[in-house]
Copies of this chain bind each other. A is one copy, B any other.
Amino acid sequence: MNGAESLLRSLVDSGVELCVTNPGTSEMHFVAALDRVPGMRPVLGLQENVVTGAADGYGRMLDKPAATLLHLGPGLANGLANLHNARRAHTPIVNVIGDHATTHRHLDAPLTSDVEAVAAPFSHWVRVSTSCRSVGRDAAEAVAVARAQPGQIASLILPADSSWNEPGVPAKARPVPEPSAPPSETIDSIAARLREHTPAAILLGGRALREESLALAAAIGEATGARILTDTFFARLERGGTRPSIDRIPYFTEQAVEKLADVADLVLVHTRAPVGFFAYPDKPSVIADPKTRIHTLAELEEDAEEALRALAEALGVRKIEPGAYRSRAPRPERPTGALDPMAIARAVGALLPENAIVVDESATAGLGLLPATESAPIHDWLSLTGGAIGQGIPSATGAALACPDRRVLNMQADGSAMYTIQALWTQARESLDVTTVILANRSYAILNLELNRTGAAPSRVAGELFDLSRPELDFVSIAAGLGVPGVRVEDAESFTKELDRSLREPGPRLIEAVL
A459: B residues at CB distance < 8 A = 31-32, 34-35
A160: B residues at CB distance < 8 A = 278-279, 454
Interface residues of A in 462-515 (CB under 8 A from B): 462, 464-465, 470-483
A475: B residues at CB distance < 8 A = 481
The copy count of this chain in the complex is 2
Contacting residue for A32 out of B419, B457, B472, CB 8 A: B457
Closest 10 CB pairs of A and B: A471-B483, A478-B481, A74-B388, A477-B481, A104-B279, A77-B80, A32-B456, A101-B279, A111-B387, A74-B81
Q: Is A385 an interface residue (CB 8 A)?
A: yes
A462 touches B31 (CB 8 A): yes
Q: Is A447 an interface residue (CB 8 A)?
A: yes
Interface residues of A in 133-184 (CB under 8 A from B): 160-161, 164
Q: Is A386 an interface residue (CB 8 A)?
A: yes
A118: B residues at CB distance < 8 A = 80, 121
Query: What are 6 sample pairs from A and B whose C-beta atoms fall under 8 A apart?
Result: A32-B458, A101-B279, A113-B122, A161-B281, A428-B471, A474-B483
Chain B residue nearest to A117 in the complex (CB):
B121
In this complex, the interface size class of chain A, counting residues with CB under 8 Å from chain B, is 35 or more
Q: Which of A118, A428, A481, A482 gathers the greatest number of chain B CB atoms within 10 Å?
A: A481
Of the candidate stretches A39-47, A193-201, A210-218, A398-406, the one touching chain B is A39-47
Q: Is A24 an interface residue (CB 8 A)?
A: yes
Min CB distance, A47 to chain B, in Å? 5
Q: Is A68 an interface residue (CB 8 A)?
A: no
B473 touches A78 (CB 8 A): no
Min CB distance, A500 to chain B, in Å? 25
B80 touches A110 (CB 8 A): no
Taking A44-B464, A475-B481, A477-B478 as given, write out 7 further A-B residue pairs in contact, using a Cβ cutoff of 8 Å, ordered by the A residue number: A35-B459, A46-B418, A161-B279, A419-B422, A473-B483, A477-B477, A479-B481
Cα separation A205 to B28 with both chains bound (whole Å): 30
Interface residues of A in 396-451 (CB under 8 A from B): 415, 418-419, 421-422, 425, 428-429, 446-447, 450-451
A278 touches B104 (CB 8 A): yes
Cα separation A446 to B24 with both chains bound (whole Å): 9
Given contacts A418-B422, A465-B42, contact A454 B84 (CB under 8 A): no
Q: Is A109 an interface residue (CB 8 A)?
A: yes
Interface string of A68-85 (1 = CB under 8 A from B): 000001110110110011
B425 touches A471 (CB 8 A): yes
Q: Is A291 an interface residue (CB 8 A)?
A: no
Given contacts A35-B461, A388-B74, contact A454 B29 (CB under 8 A): yes
B80 touches A456 (CB 8 A): no
A84: B residues at CB distance < 8 A = 73-74, 77, 113
Contacting residue for A28 out of B447, B478, B481, CB 8 A: B447
Q: Is A114 an interface residue (CB 8 A)?
A: yes
A277: B residues at CB distance < 8 A = 25, 109-111
Chain B residue nearest to A83 in the complex (CB):
B77
Chain B residue nearest to A85 in the complex (CB):
B74
Interface residues of A in 22-76 (CB under 8 A from B): 23-26, 28-29, 31-32, 34-36, 42, 44, 46-47, 49, 73-75
Q: Which of A88, A446, A460 gathers the greatest number of chain B CB atoms within 10 Å?
A: A88
Q: Is A381 an interface residue (CB 8 A)?
A: no
A332: B residues at CB distance < 8 A = none
Min CB distance, A49 to chain B, in Å? 7
Given contacts A81-B77, A111-B386, A118-B80, contact A100 B25 (CB under 8 A): no
B461 touches A275 (CB 8 A): no
B447 touches A24 (CB 8 A): yes
A113: B residues at CB distance < 8 A = 84, 121-122
Q: Is A455 an interface residue (CB 8 A)?
A: yes
A121: B residues at CB distance < 8 A = 73, 113-114, 117-118
A31: B residues at CB distance < 8 A = 451, 456, 459, 461-462, 465
Q: Is A286 an interface residue (CB 8 A)?
A: yes
Q: Is A338 an interface residue (CB 8 A)?
A: no
A32: B residues at CB distance < 8 A = 451, 456-459, 461-462
Cα separation A122 to B78 with both chains bound (whole Å): 13
